[in-house]
Structure 1
Amino acid sequence: MAWWKKSVVYQIYPRSFFDSDGDGTGDLRGITAKLDYIQTLGADVVWLCPVYQSPNDDGGYDISDYRAILPEFGTMADWDELLAGMHARGLRLIMDLVVNHTSDEHPWFAEARKSKDNPYRDFYIWRPPAQDGGEPNNWGSHFGGSAWKFDPQTGEYFLHLFSERQPDLNWDNPRVREEIYAMMRWWLDKGIDGFRMDTVNMFSKPPELPQASTRAGERYPLAEEHFLNGPRLFEYLQEMRRRVLNDYDVLTVGETPGVSPEQGVEYTNEKSGVLSMIFQFDHMALDKDTTDPEPRWTHVPWSLAELRDITTRWQTALHGRGWNSLYLSNHDVPRMVSRFGDDGEHRVASAKLLATFLHTLQGTPYIYQGDEIGMTNVQFGRIEDYRDVDALNLYRARVTEGGGDPAATLGAIHLKGRDNARTPMQWDASANAGFTTGTPWIGVNPNYPEVNVEAALADPDSVFWYYRDLIRLRRECPALIGGRYDLLLPDHPQVYAYTRSTPEQRLLVLLNFGSQDAALPWPVDGTPLDAELLLGNLEQSAPDAAPDLRLRPWEARVYRLRLPGT
């Protein structure tokens, strides 16, 4: 079995992890200083968000030099020391591969915009103005407004699916692909263990760049029907695998919004696929109003039934045919305990339940920094306290230029803003949560005196130690890695129940996604009552007397069921 199927990944957003030099920004030496902490948690792999040279318009996802380190993070020597420290501890490192776009400060783009006949012009996607002098088509940017930026020097527009400072690369140009493959080999030869591939299913755009369908009130639709899983995408990814990835034993995980389970199989099948695993986004839309022109900033109640249906589809479709990645949070979305749990009275219990959910499904679990101590969303009172370009664009469009309600817009940012995940890691109860001795680049969540690593390590019943127990349990139970997933109680309004089974082992997982007690029949799956409780997130979690079982609010239990004849 591939090593990455048995692994647990810990994601680090370097700017917010730990500051070693007091300048207010997390850095590479800060990560090196905390490697023993990650090792204690039990993770196997570290996913490092971008540390490359960048003007930092989009948190480092706008890269101006793929083979250089941003000075505020340190030097290449610091990076080498970090990698050596990881490998010495048995940790592997995967880097972010951001090649749908570059920064507008990348030398390729500086050349491309000089003239229409520049050798680098075709590294990017340019089009002349439409007949009315406006944008070439109606495509919208993920960060709001048009996906086209006019460049007066050459009188043409360039495409940017994200910030206007992130021009999209032209993957149809073989020279672009050669440059990317050479860069990938350069990092792999330095010893990294794989890539997280940013927006990987957006690389291929149809050359005719057709108009996107619109809804009422929508001026610049995202046009995802045209650029997600585009016409030559698999050709390019198969070429990448053939030219680069097949020569290394690596983990590759692609960010793939808009992918179905069957497409997931096509991406991740070990024999015919192109990636180890993908990040699918179906469950990330549970609390969005998809009828709204800007769904990413909306909030509607999500239902357990929808989460259960989505998870079951992916678990069933990929079993034996592909591989899942398991996540509820990352640097781009709100904190999972605030979004899918209860960050108030039941913060600890619900954080543990969500962790149980992620570590007992089939796939590779991803832990985002701070989730292992139950960090929550933040609610800054002023737009000036936010740093994310997406949130700032929203506020400018709705309030500064649109005259809308500031409080309502801040409310949307409080719920869905990416800075929720980017506030500094909360190490202890000292000033700035022990993250820095200087002024942090973004404010610290005010709850850090109670929610921090030092307190978690001192409390044997903390979220941290429960994560460690889950990771240990996953290693000890083959059914949690390779076992079949079977859904139980598909109509229960509050409890998510399923089994994970191999011929030698059968486990039962019970999750009460709610703030009320939940009753369910025992035995849940109709088998004789013969179960051993392996792990529970509340004290005295044991089977009640037959015939019923009662789960307390946000209670999670994992049982080993005795198989016939054993």
Structure 2
Amino acid sequence: MFADKSASIPKVCYEIFVRSFCDSNGDGIGDLNGIISKLDYLADLGIEAIWLTPIHPSPSYHKYDVIDYYAIEPEYGTLADFKRLLASAHERGIAVYLDLIINHTSTLHPWFKEARKSKDSPYRQFYWWMTQDQIDHLGISERETSDDSQVVYPWHENPGDDEKYYGLFYKGMPDLNFHSEALREEIAKIVRFWLNDIGVDGFRLDAARHIYPVWDSEDSITFWQFFSKIIGEAKPNAFTVGEVWADTEEVAPYFRNLNATFHFDLSFALQRMLIAQRDEQIIDKLQASFKLFQQYNPLFVNAIMLTNHDQERIGSVVDRNIKKIKLAASILLTLPGQPYLYYGEEIGMLGKKPDPYIREPFLWTDDPDDPQLTSWIEPEFTTLKTVAPLSEQTGDPTSVFNHYKNLIHLRRTEPALHQILAPNLQPVHFHDEQLLGYFRPHVDRSLIVIHNLGDDEREFQLPDDKSLFTEVLFSTDLLHETTLTTNRLAPHSSIILAPARNVGPFDKQ
């Protein structure tokens, strides 16, 4: 029963930081028409859904502090441009997910501008307000930092007001208070507008675990029950993926009401493994997380990624090591789940914090004056001196780009790899911490995946019940072409094995 539904879930997704992707009008800022011009590129790469970082009017470069939920940031284009983008993407079989920012607004949003004027404003209830005595009584004047917010003092002064407002991420981003029924109805209108009037396919939900502050944190999960009801009434097949930047145990309950959540534990584990060059029993840990997620939703979708717009780029995490950059992709794209590529990962883009430098311009060509190249920031990490542009990589069969493209094609064509619901994953133990092995069972054709995480060539021995897996579907080790002839794997290499073609259906594992 899982297969039919799974077929409608995009198999490979792509996050676009709009400002940095592609400029269409020469102002140095990425825009919606720039994305339209690259839809053929994304379709050819094998992308089936794009997640756009916020496109609403906002005073910041990143747009995570919204002023108007119904409009398009003028730097990015118009609502007509967005409708063209949506139609053009759908023509190519690409879904479009919007970044929906409802944990907070900008202080310039009309709601907050009215709320801060007077305690009697009907919009006052849309936000969190307390006197210093109330804050001290509850013991919430300070907070421990978290991966997604480094703010220690989240209460901010409103000049001439004896009450402060709560803003978890920044004083310019006051948190919304969803105890307000009037606010809930406003959010429902926004959701219905984008799903029904405009026709988007779903939402990436920012800061999903912070929808209520820590003193009301249990309501953060139940809020999404309200939200999913709105989705179900407006567009039942709309997709929701939540940013729940927390440990797996805290993430799991969100699956009650969301289709997917991002697997941050996996993201950081993969980064540690690539640096340390040894397995962390990641397959066993993934299996345990699947069992936990399934308790809340048997149709959970595990959204997996290497990094995103809030994390240092994988190319920099592995210190620009091309073999490790490819290895990271090989692991991500052979694990079960719904993978999200961060724009530019497919060409090996680099980037370290602070945040603007993990969001640098995409390199389309080797022309430093390329009109498509965004120039809103002077890049520190991804430059023509450090990263080969797409135009150079497309014709190079050994490039990072072609590595991604080949893997994505394989993932989309092999049922064992693209199964998303009821994740099919079992460990294959080699008793060597530098080897990561796993089994992807499937009724059509099962596969074995092996990665060498280390700097040295490693020998491996397939288990007796997997001895028939000798056909090589994919390998980054030149020693292996079409048939497994030796049980050795080069450093930082990967291999995908299928049962030999002369094996009968009842012999397949």
The TM-score with structure 1 as length reference comes to 0.79
Report the alpha carbon displacement of residue 259 of structure 1 after superposing the two structures with TM: 4.4
Q: Counterparts of 1:497-516 in structure 2 under 5 Å?
A: 497-516=437-456
Q: Distance in 1 between matches of 2:203 and 2:395?
A: 34
1:438-462 Cα deviation digits (max 9, x unpaired): 7433426454255211011121232
Q: Counterparts of 1:426-437 in structure 2 under 5 Å?
A: 426-431=363-368, 435-436=372-373
In structure 1, what is the equivalent of residue 350 of structure 2?
376
Q: Distance in 1 between matches of 2:18 and 2:264?
A: 24
1:204 aligns with 2:243: no
Q: Distance in 2 between matches of 1:306 and 1:527?
A: 20
Q: Distance in 2 between matches of 1:37 and 1:421?
A: 22
Report the alpha carbon displacement of residue 111 of structure 1 after superposing the two structures with TM: 0.6
Q: Please say if residues 333 and 420 of structure 1, whose CA atoms lie closer than 8 Å, have aligned partners that are also in contact.
A: no
Q: Note closer, same or farther for the CA distance 1:114–1:31 as it changes in structure 2 (3 Å cut).
A: same
1:328-358 Cα deviation digits (max 9, x unpaired): 111111111332x4513xx1x3222222212
In structure 1, what is the equivalent of residue 85 of structure 2?
82
Report the alpha carbon displacement of residue 312 of structure 1 after superposing the two structures with TM: 4.1
Q: Distance in 2 between matches of 1:250 and 1:478?
A: 24
Q: Note closer, same or farther for the CA distance 1:343–1:525 as it changes in structure 2 (3 Å cut).
A: farther
In structure 2, what is the equivalent of residue 54 of structure 1?
58
Secondary structure of the residue aligned to 2:132 is: coil
In structure 2, what is the equivalent of residue 9 of structure 1?
13
Q: Distance in 1 between matches of 2:162 and 2:479?
A: 71
Q: Quick one: which of 366, 379, 384 aligns to 1:448?
A: 384
In structure 2, what is the equivalent of residue 425 of structure 1?
362
Unpaired segments ≥5 residues, structure 2: none
Report the alpha carbon displacement of residue 102 of structure 1 after superposing the two structures with TM: 0.5
Q: Distance in 1 between matches of 2:343 and 2:99?
A: 16
Q: Identify the range of structure 1 (329-338 vs 445-454) with the bigger mean alpha-carbon deviation.
A: 445-454
Q: Note closer, same or farther for the CA distance 1:132–1:245 as it changes in structure 2 (3 Å cut).
A: closer
Q: Distance in 2 between matches of 1:232 and 1:132?
A: 19
Q: Please say if residues 439 and 446 of structure 2, whose CA atoms lie closer than 8 Å, have aligned partners that are also in contact.
A: yes
Q: Please say if residues 537 and 556 of structure 1, whose CA atoms lie closer than 8 Å, have aligned partners that are also in contact.
A: yes
Residue type of the alignment partner of 1:188: L
Q: Identify the range of structure 1 (85-94 vs 186-195) with the bigger mean alpha-carbon deviation.
A: 85-94
Q: Quick one: which of 92, 108, 111 aligns to 1:108?
A: 111
Q: Please say if residues 484 and 500 of structure 1, whose CA atoms lie closer than 8 Å, have aligned partners that are also in contact.
A: yes
Q: Quick one: which of 168, 188, 192 aligns to 2:200?
A: 192
1:254 aligns with 2:225: no
In structure 2, what is the equivalent of residue 183 of structure 1?
190
1:29 aligns with 2:33: yes
Report the alpha carbon displacement of residue 362 of structure 1 after superposing the two structures with TM: 1.5
1:96-147 Cα deviation digits (max 9, x unpaired): 0110001111000001100111110010011101389899522256133411
1:527 aligns with 2:466: yes
Q: Note closer, same or farther for the CA distance 1:490–1:338 as it changes in structure 2 (3 Å cut).
A: farther
Q: Please say if residues 140 and 147 of structure 1, whose CA atoms lie closer than 8 Å, have aligned partners that are also in contact.
A: no
Q: Quick one: which of 301, 320, 328 aligns to 2:306?
A: 328
1:561 aligns with 2:503: no
Q: Counterparts of 1:36-435 in structure 2 under 5 Å?
A: 36-56=40-60, 59-130=62-133, 137-139=141-143, 142-189=149-196, 190-205=198-213, 209=215, 230-248=217-235, 249-260=237-248, 263-264=251-252, 266-268=253-255, 273-286=256-269, 304-305=279-280, 307-308=282-283, 310-315=285-290, 317-318=292-293, 322-339=300-317, 341=318, 343-344=320-321, 347=322, 349-377=323-351, 414=352, 416-431=353-368, 435=372
Residue type of the alignment partner of 2:141: N
Secondary structure of the residue aligned to 1:333 is: coil
1:18-72 Cα deviation digits (max 9, x unpaired): 1112222111111111111111101011111101000016x11111111111111
Q: Note closer, same or farther for the CA distance 1:532–1:34 as it changes in structure 2 (3 Å cut).
A: same
Residue type of the alignment partner of 1:274: N
Residue type of the alignment partner of 1:336: I
Q: Distance in 2 between matches of 1:28 and 1:440?
A: 16
Q: Please say if residues 191 and 230 of structure 2, whose CA atoms lie closer than 8 Å, have aligned partners that are also in contact.
A: no
Q: Distance in 1 between matches of 2:161 and 2:382?
A: 49
Q: Distance in 1 between matches of 2:325 and 2:287?
A: 21
Q: Note closer, same or farther for the CA distance 1:440–1:260 as it changes in structure 2 (3 Å cut).
A: closer
Superposition misfits of 4+ residues, deviation over 6 angstroms? 131-135
In structure 2, what is the equivalent of residue 384 of structure 1?
none
1:460 aligns with 2:447: no
Q: Please say if residues 488 and 498 of structure 1, whose CA atoms lie closer than 8 Å, have aligned partners that are also in contact.
A: yes
Report the alpha carbon displacement of residue 247 of structure 1 after superposing the two structures with TM: 3.7
Residue type of the alignment partner of 1:370: G
Unpaired segments ≥5 residues, structure 1: 210-226, 290-299, 378-413
Q: Identify the range of structure 1 (555-564 vs 524-533) with the bigger mean alpha-carbon deviation.
A: 524-533
Residue type of the alignment partner of 1:199: A
Q: Note closer, same or farther for the CA distance 1:33–1:357 as it changes in structure 2 (3 Å cut).
A: same
Q: State the aligned residue count.
A: 484
Residue type of the alignment partner of 1:330: N
Q: Note closer, same or farther for the CA distance 1:176–1:161 as it changes in structure 2 (3 Å cut).
A: same
Residue type of the alignment partner of 1:421: I
Q: Please say if residues 24 and 33 of structure 2, whose CA atoms lie closer than 8 Å, have aligned partners that are also in contact.
A: yes
Q: Distance in 1 between matches of 2:276 and 2:433?
A: 14
Q: Identify the range of structure 1 (250-259 vs 531-540) with the bigger mean alpha-carbon deviation.
A: 531-540
Secondary structure of the residue aligned to 1:53 is: coil
Q: Please say if residues 25 and 441 of structure 1, whose CA atoms lie closer than 8 Å, have aligned partners that are also in contact.
A: no
Q: Note closer, same or farther for the CA distance 1:284–1:432 as it changes in structure 2 (3 Å cut).
A: farther
Q: Distance in 2 between matches of 1:196 and 1:49?
A: 9
Q: Please say if residues 361 and 375 of structure 2, whose CA atoms lie closer than 8 Å, have aligned partners that are also in contact.
A: no
Residue type of the alignment partner of 1:451: A
Q: Distance in 2 between matches of 1:475 and 1:439?
A: 34
1:415-450 Cα deviation digits (max 9, x unpaired): x543342010011111166643x7433426454255
Q: Distance in 1 between matches of 2:181 and 2:383?
A: 51
The TM-score with structure 2 as length reference comes to 0.87
Q: Distance in 1 between matches of 2:324 and 2:104?
A: 38
